[in-house]
Structure 1
Amino acid sequence: MATASSTTSTTTIKAVAVINGANDVKGSLQFLQLPNGFTQVKGKITGLSPGLHGFHIHALGDTTNGCNSTGPHFNPLKKNHGDPLSQERHAGDLGNIIAGPNGIAEVSVMDTQIPLSGQHSILGRAVVVHADPDDLGRGGHELSKTTGNAGARIGCGRESLGFSHLSSCEW
């Protein structure tokens, strides 16, 4: 569990999510909330089929029933599903990650809607990798506006966070 300390504008907050899932999907992700309001997500996920996979923050950190108990996409502002660069999107909509021919996805995301502190923190929520590409709300399928029609949840992990005062961070 994360412990709070007093924070200043120079505070950097870090977190880790360990990904586990079906068919040997595994990985780890590092989250770094920067003083400028962006959160950086970096890491590696293995055991994926080559190609695009939907990548989201889900509302719940409950993984007692695997990835199926993580709830819907994190959506505190009650918006439709969308592209990570769109104004109309869930906070947890992070688009797609790409797995190479070897089944490995090198994840690198920068986003302002997934803070590690504050009212809309993703602390304790789950990050989920889906079997199929996220259509970014543009697919015309009935699930496009709620899930991006990204298919089954094949890997997930809960963000475990701590607070650190850092002048720089090496990844």
Structure 2
Amino acid sequence: MRKWISFFLLSGALLSGCTGDQRSPLDTSIYNQSNDKIGTASLTEKPDGVEVALKVEGLEPGVHAVHIHEFPKCEAPEFKSAGNHFNPKSKDHGLMNTDGAHAGDMQNVQADASGMVDVKLMLSEAKLKEGQMSLLRKEGTSIVITNGQDDGMTQPAGDSGDRIACGKITLDADEDEASDPTEPDKKQEK
């Protein structure tokens, strides 16, 4: 009898692991201030953090800051609903700050002459799994792009300007069916 009980418990544990929420990779749509989809961020759990593959278009050419924010809310046009930077360890802002950085601080990105960004960034302290550093803890977080560059030091957000694009990072973020402007239109290819 003990063998059967052990067998069923082991089988149940294996099956529950197979049907659990898929956390990596996780794709999220990025929207501008007019609520138009301008691209995607694909987040992948890596041994050294979370890799963010960011692909967006329609930005002003030049340097822009990208940060993870504390709430999965993207109410246009200001995106203030996203809250402050994701900072579960209560550090100061800035990748160049000796008392920093926020877990949501990332390198600046360069939009080319056409306004396109296609880059991979790393969040070294973040996780997609459960825990204090999870981007999916509570309801989730968001990714926000600003119109200026982050100076890496100024509190609380690097003097990076207005928020111009936002995407919710949640377990169901990849269920968004809006077409991605950075990908070729499948209907036109036929």
TM-score normalised over the length of structure 1: 0.77
**Are the equivalent residues in 2 in contact too, given 1:132–1:150 (CA < 8 A)?**
yes
Say if 2:76 is the partner of 1:61. no
Say if 2:148 is the partner of 1:132. yes
1:89 paired residue number: 101
2:183 paired residue number: none
Say if 2:174 is the partner of 1:161. no
- Alpha-carbon deviation of 1:13? 2.1
Amino acid at match of 1:91: A
Matches within 5 A, 1:8-27: 13-22=24-33, 26-27=38-39
2:135 paired residue number: 122
**Are the equivalent residues in 2 in contact too, given 1:61–1:158 (CA < 8 A)?**
yes
Query: Are residues 22 and 45 of structure 1, via their aligned partners in 2, closer, same or farther at CA, if it must alter by over 3 Å?
Result: same
**Are the equivalent residues in 1 in contact too, given 2:72–2:170 (CA < 8 A)?**
no
SS in 1 for 2:108: strand
Higher mean alpha-carbon deviation, 85-94 vs 123-132, is at 85-94
1:12-69 deviation per Cα after TM superposition (whole angstroms, max 9, x unaligned): 82211100012657110100002x2321111311111111101000011112455121
Unaligned runs of 5+ in 1: 138-143, 163-171
Whole-angstrom CA distance in 1 between matches of 2:169 and 2:124: 17
SS in 1 for 2:55: strand
**Are the equivalent residues in 2 in contact too, given 1:128–1:156 (CA < 8 A)?**
yes
Query: Are residues 86 and 158 of structure 1, via their aligned partners in 2, closer, same or farther at CA, if it must alter by over 3 Å?
Result: farther
Unaligned runs of 5+ in 2: 1-15, 173-190
Whole-angstrom CA distance in 1 between matches of 2:108 and 2:171: 23
Whole-angstrom CA distance in 1 between matches of 2:37 and 2:61: 12
Amino acid at match of 2:171: L
- Alpha-carbon deviation of 1:161? 3.2
Whole-angstrom CA distance in 2 between matches of 1:80 and 1:37: 21
SS in 1 for 2:86: coil
Say if 2:75 is the partner of 1:52. no
**Are the equivalent residues in 1 in contact too, given 2:103–2:123 (CA < 8 A)?**
no
Q: CA RMSD in A?
A: 2.4
- Alpha-carbon deviation of 1:87? 6.3
- Alpha-carbon deviation of 1:160? 3.1
- Alpha-carbon deviation of 1:158? 0.6
1:106 paired residue number: 118
Q: Which has the higher helix share?
A: 2
Q: Which has the higher strand share?
A: 1
**Are the equivalent residues in 2 in contact too, given 1:60–1:126 (CA < 8 A)?**
yes
SS in 2 for 1:33: strand
**Are the equivalent residues in 2 in contact too, given 1:45–1:107 (CA < 8 A)?**
no
- Alpha-carbon deviation of 1:159? 1.3
